[in-house]
Amino acid sequence: MARNSAYPQLLEAVIRLAHERETATITVTDIVREAGVTRPTFYAAFTDPANAFTHAAAEEITRAFASSPKPQATRQFTEDELAAFFAEVLAYVDGHRSFFQHVSQGPGAHDILKHLIAALSGRIADYSPAGLALQSGPLPAETTTEAVAAAVAWTTLSWVNESSPRRVQEMADILAGLVLRFSAPGGKE
């Protein structure tokens, strides 16, 4: 789909609505009303609400990582350093918990999970302090980062949807341990 000039306006409307209520209850009419645009303008940007939720989730994922500067990975990072990295990202996710709960349980959730894994895979390889270790492991970096991203995505979304969620730092420690366990064994011979 071609992006039109109203795309940012529509995207922000979708994000606001998904923060407020379950995505299964959000219609095209709700979105265009919130954005102050027409239905044809919506359909010029998205195929349907589920597609709009996927784009909104991608934007929120980008924002979550925006607070974390790209490390200059020239060495293996410690678990504490990696936990600090995840704590920054998770603090954003925690502050937008209702959005992530709604999009992970509504229309397009499978596509959102696939997109989240793809986005995390790139972010973990490029922005995570564990990127260097993942690139030097015995498997191709793409394979390893995708597997790690899937584990991080699943664990994070499970945390987002917990009825009594653990603290951000506790989850950051869990994710750091998980990533380091994936990236620690051996290097290329």
Q: What is the pLDDT of residues 9-34, one digit of tens each?
A: 999 999 999 999 999 999 999 999 99
Is 129's pLDDT higher than 80?
Answer: no
Confidence of residue 93 (pLDDT cuts 50, 70, 90): very high
Whether the Cβ atoms of residue 92 and residue 63 lie closer than 8 Å to each other: yes
Give the per-residue pLDDT at 189: 40
Q: Where do the domains of the chain lie, and which CATH numbers do they carry?
A: 7-52 (1.10.10.60), 53-183 (no CATH)
Q: Give pLDDT, residue 142.
A: 84
Say what the pTM is: 0.84
| pLDDT number for residue 124 | 74
Per-residue pLDDT tens for 139-180? 788 888 898 899 999 999 999 999 998 999 999 999 988 887
pLDDT confidence of residue 75: 57
Q: What does the alpha-carbon distance between residue 18 and residue 96 come to, in Å, rounded to a whole number?
A: 10
Q: What is the pLDDT of residues 43-92, one digit of tens each?
A: 999 999 999 999 999 899 889 888 765 555 555 667 788 888 889 989 99
Residues 37 and 95: beta-carbon distance below 8 Å: no
Scanning the structure block, which residue is given the tokens 């564990």? 130
Which residues are CB-contacts of 66 (< 8 A; sequence separation ≥ 6)?
none
pLDDT of residue 171: 96
What is the structure's pLDDT at 3? 66
Q: In sequence order, what are the residues at sequence separation of 6 or more whose Cβ sits closer than 8 angstroms to the Cβ of residue 43?
A: 28
